[in-house]
Amino acid sequence: MRNSSILSAAAVWVATLSLAGAAVAQTPALNPEDAQRARAQQQRQRTQPGNDAPVWRDVRYGEPKVSAVRGRETDVLIQSEGQTWRAARVPMATTGGFVFALALLGILGFYLWRGPIELTEPPTGRRIERFTRAQRIMHWTLAIAFTTLGVTGLIITFGKNVLLPVFGYSVFSVVAMAAKILHNFVGPVFVVLLPIMIVMFLKSNLFKSYDWPWIKRFGGMMDRTGRSEVPSGKANAGQKILFWLMLVAVGITAAITGLILDFPNFDQTRQTMQIANGIHMVAGIGGVILLAFHIYLGTVGMRGAYDAMRHGYVDESWAKQHHRIWYEDVMSGKASHGDRPVKVVEPGRGAA
């Protein structure tokens, strides 16, 4: 009987030691900071049962924990910067929307006040080659990509607040999904075309000494008679500013941030993508504002501007009035397209 009691006591003791050893093995070693957080949670449970604030505060610290999944940030349960991004994104988008609307109203107001920029002299019939076929193809290809990205970007950014109340969930879901797919697939095409376009038009958009008088007088565009235009080269100072802002600054910024957002398999962190998203949105809104101004001046804002990029030729009177320095270079044989002179087509003859 005594031996049985000893054996039972020994068995209980062994089982107790085993359970204690297992518990110790499963309990991670605590550093002083973790121990302090654990004590704070224990105290909170005694004074405020069910309040797990210390636990979630510990989770939101963003410190790496233990995870079986390998990869960047897979051991971070909650990334606190995400809340900052969500809080900042809405006011940024709202502000951008108001700025875009004001820009459109500004363009409309300028058109109503100024009207289209007309020729002050009648056309002569002599046509001057302004853009080559390759330049026009590149321009229109990039223009279609840029416009597609701009429109789809506006839908993605503002569609939920602007289009959804008007068209309802069924139609908006189709439009939003199509916008997202187009934006993601046209983006890489834009990235490929952009540097080609920049190189192709870089030479004519370098600033010259005669650009400063144009800037000081805004090219004479505020004169509704149209008789005080400032002489300029092939591209005036306004077009050069647009080139460096819209194509170089905004275009490259949107391209880089767009690649970061389009290809998360680059192994970038969530915070990197959040920052890229904010920069991409600001660049995108700035880009569509500049695009709207460019479309305005290239169509209804100036007579004959569309023909230059559509057909490649402009009338002699148009060239003399809007780009006098370039016109004089053409007439003197100084202007060229690569290794050949600019073509001048006499009245009654077709373009070669």
- Rounded CA-CA distance 196/179 in Å is 26
**Cβ atoms 346, 124 nearer than 8 A:** no
Among 48, 78, 108, residue at a domain's last position: 78
Quick one: 64 and 99 in the same domain?
no
Quickly tell me which residue has 């009987």 as its tokens. 1
What's the residue count for the chain? 352
In angstroms, the CA 244 to CA 252 distance is 10
Q: Measured between alpha carbons, how far is 126 from 347 in angstroms, rounded to an integer?
A: 5
Question: Which H/E stretch holds residue 336?
Answer: strand 336-337
Distance CA(317)–CA(309), nearest Å, equals 17
Q: Are 208 and 279 in contact (CB under 8 A)?
A: no
Q: Is residue 111 in a domain?
A: yes
> Could you tell me if 279 and 226 lie in one domain?
yes
Q: Residue 317 and residue 130: Cα distance in Å, rounded? A: 13
Least confident among 25-29, 125-129, 167-171? 25-29
Asked, for residue 5, whether it belongs to a domain, the answer is: no
- Domain holding 109, by residue range, is 81-345
Contact 160, 329 (CB under 8 A): no
Place of tokens 């053409």: 330
CATH number at residue 135: 1.20.950.20
SS3 249: helix
Helices within the chain (DSSP H only): 2-26, 32-47, 53-59, 81-114, 133-162, 164-201, 211-216, 237-242, 252-262, 270-298, 305-311, 316-322, 324-332
pLDDT digits (tens, 9 = 90+) for 302-331: 999 999 999 999 999 999 999 999 999 999
Q: What single letter denotes the amino acid at residue 216?
A: K
CA neighbor of 320 nearest in space, from 258, 199, 231, 237: 231
Q: Confirm whether 13 is domain-assigned.
A: no
In a domain, 339, yes or no: yes
Write the burial class of residue 258 (CB in 10 Å: 0-12 exposed, 13-18 middle, 19+ buried).
buried
Do 69 and 145 have their domain in common? Answer: no
> Among candidates 252, 236, 340, 296, which has minimal Cα distance to 111?
296
pLDDT exceeds cutoff 50 at 158: yes
Q: Are residues 52 and 150 both part of a single domain?
A: no
14-18, 178-182, 269-273: which range is least confident on average? 14-18
pTM for the whole thing?
0.80
Residues 70 and 155 in one domain: no
Q: In the predicted model, what is the mean pLDDT of residues 57-61?
A: 65
pLDDT, residue 29, reads 45
Read off the pLDDT band of 12 (50, 70, 90): low
- What's the pLDDT at 79? 75
Q: Above 70 in pLDDT, residue 59? A: no
Q: How confident is the model at residue 4 (pLDDT cuts 50, 70, 90)?
A: low
128 - beta bridge partners?
Answer: 314, 344
Least confident range from 42-51, 118-127, 143-152, 304-313: namely 42-51
pLDDT per position as a tens digit, 126-147: 999 999 999 999 999 999 999 9
Of the given ranges (77-91, 190-204, 258-272, 319-333), which has the lowest mean pLDDT? 77-91
Between 64 and 92, residue with greater pLDDT: 92
For the segment 288-305, what is each residue's pLDDT rounded down to a tens digit?
A: 999 999 999 999 999 999
Considering the domain architecture, whether residues 102 and 193 belong to the same structural domain is answered as yes
Per-residue pLDDT averaged across 109-126, rounded? Answer: 93
pLDDT band at 214; cut points 50, 70, 90: very high
pLDDT score for 227: 83
Q: pLDDT-based confidence at 242, cuts 50/70/90?
A: very high
Which of 63-67, 142-146, 281-285 is the least confident region? 63-67
Domains contained in the chain, number: 2
> pLDDT-based confidence at 226, cuts 50/70/90?
confident
Tell whether 28 is covered by a domain: no
